[in-house]
Amino acid sequence: MDSAPQMAAMATAETKDDPVLLGSHTIEPDPVSTGPVPVSKLQTAKSLIHRGGCTQFDIDELIASLGPNELHLADTLREFDHDGDGSITISELVRIGETRQQHEKKIRSMKRTVLMVIGFSFLFCVLMLGLMIAANEASKEDKPDDDGNLKTISGKYISTEDTVSSVDLVDLAGVAPEDLRSLDNILLTTDTGSKRYYTITGFESFSNTHLELFSARGRLL
């Protein structure tokens, strides 16, 4: 294998802060960064490794040099060993880094998309809830007051009793026929103080001074 001493130097690096020796070049690690390594840095590392004479590595040695937090890269290294000879070239290593960066970008993009969908869905639900509440309130014509009485949305009380109006008998002849049709019952008070109650079934109007009312008992008033 090419450049075995250089590979051994890589495998014996104890921490991420230790320099990596490649041929006659020393690559000092950058300060710890939580973001992905830029492609430009991968290409720079590839160029330095080429100048140091190291062009391919043994996959098992690379896996052995991985830290406990990087063991998930073992399957990725084996996946890029296309010819199955147990080694991987510099170009394949760079391709691994680029592929991982693209994968992380897709994950970040998907996370942003999911968050946007959740946000719009929440706003839509709030809007629909507001519309349903407003429509429900608008459909309520009558509401109970604190004392149990019904009133309209404008605050007017609603009466559930029958409509009763008082009028002199002699004035009934002057009532319009359309109003007489709503006449159901009539209560007469005589001069002696007695009261007579009639259920009106019909009427016949001759003039403003002559009106005949027919009761359910067949009486003509």
On whether the CB atoms of residues 22 and 54 are closer than 8 A, the answer is yes
Tokens read off for 118:
């959740």
Q: How far apart are CA 202 and CA 121, in angstroms?
A: 64
Kindly give the confidence (pLDDT) of every residue in the chain, 221 residues in length, as a single tens digit, with 9 standing for 90 and above. Answer: 444 444 433 433 333 444 444 444 444 444 444 444 454 544 554 454 444 455 677 777 777 776 666 666 677 777 777 667 777 777 777 777 788 788 889 999 999 999 999 999 999 999 999 999 888 877 665 555 555 566 666 667 666 655 556 666 666 667 777 777 777 777 777 778 778 777 777 777 776 667 777 777 766 66
Distance, in Å, from the CA atom of 56 to the CA atom of 80, rounded to the nearest integer, reads 12
φ, ψ for residue 86, nearest 5 deg: 80, 10
Separation CA 144–CA 149 (nearest Å): 5
Nearest Cα to Cα of residue 183 among 170, 168, 196, 164:
164
Q: What is the pLDDT, as a whole number, of residue 131?
A: 92
Question: How many whole angstroms separate alpha carbon 210 and alpha carbon 139?
Answer: 47
